[in-house]
Amino acid sequence: MCLAVPGRVLSVEDQDGTTMAQVDFGGLRKEVCLAYIPDVQIGEYVIVHVGFAIQRLDEKSALDTLANFEKLGILEEEFGDGFALAAKQAGEPR
């Protein structure tokens, strides 16, 4: 629940007065709110929890963590289909 995944900021734009960014998580792109790390630059890494950047991260740590998460299947758990996952846990084919 408190998992946060490192991602690289690809682009930044203002939406209704809020800083939003396209962030790449090892090949998967998500829209992320940067309001809490306002001075982040394109190309920097941030750790993201439920669509919000909560801290910066250096590139090496970010890449190491992403590789670990990829190997452990954590990225799929974080970004996959919630209903499919719940159905699988409940042992129901869907």
Partner 1 sequence: MKYLDEFSDPVLAGKLVEQIHAVTTQPWSMMEVCGGQTHSIIRHGIDQLLPEGVEMIHGPGCPVCVTPLEIIDKALAIAQQPGVIFCSFGDMLRVPGSSEDLFSIKSAGGDVRVVYSPLDALKLARENPDRQVVFFGIGFETTAPANAMTVYQAKKQGIPNFSLLVSHVLVPPAMAAIMDSPKCRVQAFLAAGHVCSVMGTSEYPALTEKYKVPIVVTGFEPLDILEGIRRTVIQLESGRHELENAYSRAVTAEGNLPAMAMLRDVFEVTDRTWRGIGMIPQSGWKLSERYAEYDAEARFSVTDIHTDESALCRSGEVLQGLIKPHECAAFGKECTPRKPLGATMVSSEGACAAYYTYRRLDHLELSETRLVDSR
- Contact positions toward partner 1, by CB under 8 A? 1-4, 16-18, 30, 33, 35-38, 47, 49-52, 54-55, 57-58, 61, 64-65, 67-68, 71, 77, 79, 81-83, 85-87, 89-91
- Contact 51/18 with Cβ under 8 angstroms? no
State in angstroms the smallest separation of the CB of 31 from partner 1: 8
Closer CB to partner 1, residue 11 or residue 88? 88
Written as one letter, the residue type at 69 is F
Q: How far is the CB of 26 from partner 1 (least distance, A)?
A: 15
Element (H, E) at 14: strand 5-15
For 40, the 3-state DSSP assignment is coil
Q: How far is CA 89 from CA 4, 77, 82, 94, in A?
A: 22, 12, 11, 11
CB of residue 19 to partner 1, shortest distance in Å: 11
